Amino acid sequence: MKQVIATVTSNEQLWGEHKVREHPKYLGAWLIRLKCPEIASEAMPGQFVMIDCGEGCTLPRPFSVHQVEEGSTISIFYAVLPNGRGTAWLSQRKAAEYVGLFGALGNGFSIHPKANKLLLVAGGNGIAPIYFLYREALKKELPVKLLYGTLDDKRCSIFPQTNVVSFTEDGTVGYKGKVTDHLPEHVDWADQIFACGPLPMYKTMAQMPELKDKHVQISLETRMACGVGVCYGCTIRTKSGLKQVCADGPVFDLHEICWDELSGL
Ligand SMILES: Cc1cc2nc3c(=O)[nH]c(=O)nc-3n(C[C@H](O)[C@H](O)[C@H](O)COP(=O)(O)OP(=O)(O)OC[C@H]3O[C@@H](n4cnc5c(N)ncnc54)[C@H](O)[C@@H]3O)c2cc1C
Ligand code: FES
């Protein structure tokens, strides 16, 4: 784990959201690139970093590593939340400014050495860590299929479409509906399954008979304070006892989590 001051190399809004009044200019999804070779050289898919988000935020904020570029730069795909002080601050950073962060943290996804076909499932902003895994799998020339569900075409069209099956809730691209609607059809094909998405997606997956006997790695989000296993603020109940999402996760087995005891943020 390294603590660094990174240089912002770019920060672009990928799509905007103007329905909510608080930060109409900034809401939406953004991609920031941070030059930090110390972290980029060790980050693995599913790991995260804690970013210092300015004077208005006493605590750093956790973000998944979305991509590593040229071994020296990481990118973060992030949503600016309504009333989100940290994400609004991040969206206003310009190229050549500095951002403090530490990482890479947590236990990420692990591809089994004998696994061949990888099924990746991303719901909405869950593409953030899944995209890193997708690129790693392509690099290793492993057969990979990404099921990617979003609300509409503007959110869906951001990423390359090789080996991607798209779902949009309004039906503008790919299949109409949620990514979980067609997931059962793809399960038999896969040796290993990885997912990241909102809590309702995981709760639906945990109930699917087709996934009952499958090892499914999911990446979990909770509010975090320290990010390194010290404050216990991210503790959740699992079938093998209490776990800290930052230090034991954020990647867990789908069937290990006591889903009934987890509520939304
Ligand atoms: C391991 C991990 C990885 C993450 N990776 C990413 C990522 O790659 N991209 C990304 O956009 N986000 C990611 N998140 C979520 C991100 O940390 C939060 O969105 C961020 O901390 C919000 O900070 P803020 O200061 O803008 O909002 P705050 O000012 O802290 O909160 C604003 C409002 O949003 C609510 N809120 C706070 N966090 C969340 C949340 N996670 N989901 C829904 N509502 C929330 C609060 O309850 C409050 O109402 C990750 C979280 C974890 C734990
Ligand atoms: S955030 Fe402090 S223990 Fe996990």
Distance from the alpha carbon of residue 113 to the mean position of ligand 1, in angstroms: 33
Distance from the alpha carbon of residue 5 to the mean position of ligand 2, in angstroms: 22
Distance from the alpha carbon of residue 52 to the mean position of ligand 2, in angstroms: 15
Is the Cβ atom of 125 under 6 angstroms away from ligand 1? Answer: yes
Let me know: does 124 contact 195? Beta carbons within 8 Å: no
Is the Cβ atom of 230 under 6 angstroms away from ligand 2? Answer: yes
Q: How confident is the model at residue 151 (pLDDT cuts 50, 70, 90)?
A: confident
Task: Give bridge partners of residue 103 from the DSSP assignment.
Answer: 2
Is the domain defined by 2-105 classed in CATH 2.40.30.10?
Answer: yes
**Class in CATH terms, 118-261:** alpha beta
Residue 265 has a pLDDT of 57
Distance from the alpha carbon of residue 187 to the mean position of ligand 2, in angstroms: 33
Which ligand lies nearest the alpha carbon of 232? 2
Q: Which atom of ligand 1 is nearest to the CA of 250?
A: 1
**Averaged confidence pLDDT in the chain:** 92
- Nearest partner of 149 among 134, 163, 164, 137, judged by Cα: 164
| Domain ranges, ordered by start, for the chain | 2-105, 118-261
Q: How confident is the model at residue 20 (pLDDT cuts 50, 70, 90)?
A: very low
Task: Please state the rounded mean pLDDT for residues 99-112.
Answer: 97
In 173-253, DSSP assigns E strands to 175-176, 192-196, 216-219, 235-238, 241-244, 251-253
Is the Cβ atom of 86 under 6 angstroms away from ligand 1? Answer: yes
Let me know: does 223 contact 149? Beta carbons within 8 Å: no
- Whether 118-261 and 2-105 are alike in CATH topology: the answer is no
Distance CA 67, CA 43 (A): 9
> Which residue, judged by its Cα, is nearest atom 10 of ligand 1?
78
Torsion sign, CA atoms 25, 29, 35, 36: positive
> ∠ CA 111-113-116 to the nearest 5 degrees?
75
Segment 230-261, tens digit of pLDDT: 999 999 999 999 999 999 999 999 999 999 98
Which ligand lies nearest the alpha carbon of 63? 1
Segment 32-57, tens digit of pLDDT: 999 999 999 999 999 999 999 999 99
Distance CA 92, CA 87 (A): 9
DSSP letter (8 states) at residue 115: -
Higher pLDDT, 155 or 65: 65
Segment 153-199, tens digit of pLDDT: 776 666 666 888 999 988 888 889 999 999 999 999 999 999 999 99
Q: Which atom of ligand 2 is nearest to the CA of 222?
A: 1
Which pTM was predicted?
A: 0.95
Which ligand lies nearest the alpha carbon of 132? 1
Let me know: does 256 contact 248? Beta carbons within 8 Å: no
